[in-house]
Amino acid sequence: MLRIEGLTAAVGGTSILRGLDLAIGAGEVHAVMGPNGAGKSTLANVLAGRDGYDVAGTVTLDGVDLLGLTPEQRAAAGLFLAFQYPVEIPGVGNMYFLRTALNALRRERRQPEVGAIEFLAMAKEHMARLEMDPALLNRSVNAGFSGGEKKRNEVLQLSLLEPRLVILDETDSGLDIDALRAVAEGVDRLRRPDRAMLVITHYARLLEQLRPDRVHVLSEGRIVRSGDYELALELDAAGYGVRSGTPVR
């Protein structure tokens, strides 16, 4: 479903990704772990189409060349990125923002748009699963939200937009135990046979709920080791130091 081959990315002449290869099949959840500066967020940004990177290599989603598409086209093709630090947008109502995003995708997919009343009922149903206060729909996007509310709002977008490929960029950072549980359970409920997930994280605690199919260690711009969920527990205990592909303290 997602295939990455020889992906490189640089900023201002500084190389960050150095020939990264990764393949994720439909229905699979893969986790990428690694130290700060390894290139995890760069990987997420490059896949989403953020400007400022010199990129080479091949990235396809369902056989479609993602690198040749704009961020909007990538979203229409089914890609969704949940940000590590969701942006506050004062003055833009959360309900308006979410419905506008959903209808933009539905237009691209030649589907009928959703009216305000229908969307409100839909959003409240999704929010209940995430243990979100419906009053958040009436506030500006992420403005004054707690860390947990911002991350739940990201997962709410994911739930409503129904993407094919989900990228979670350290969604667990800054969450307390209750918020982490709610977000992890919300993401876990969104697993589907026709959806792939790439979870970028420092810690095994989010993965305890998600139980990914594969865990990858990213170091110095390359994947240096892969394994199952037990690898995440090993990394959590031993740290991110890598010698010959083996994590050490």
Q: Outline where 65-197 has alpha helix (H).
A: 71-77, 94-108, 116-129, 147-161, 177-189
The arithmetic mean of pLDDT across residues 198-213, rounded, is: 86
The arithmetic mean of pLDDT across residues 221-249, rounded, is: 75
What are 126's two structure tokens?
């999704």
Cα angle for residues 63, 200, 39 (degrees, 5° grid)? 85
Place of tokens 């969104």: 190
* pLDDT at 162 exceeding the cut of 70: yes
Task: Look up the domain containing 211 and give its range.
Answer: 2-248
The arithmetic mean of pLDDT across residues 196-211, rounded, is: 87
* pLDDT at 170 exceeding the cut of 80: yes
Total number of domains constituting the chain: 1
DSSP state of 53: -
pLDDT digits (tens, 9 = 90+) for 87-102: 999 999 999 999 999 9
pLDDT digits (tens, 9 = 90+) for 49-93: 999 999 999 999 999 999 999 999 999 999 999 988 889 999 999
The CATH code of the domain that includes 169 is 3.40.50.300
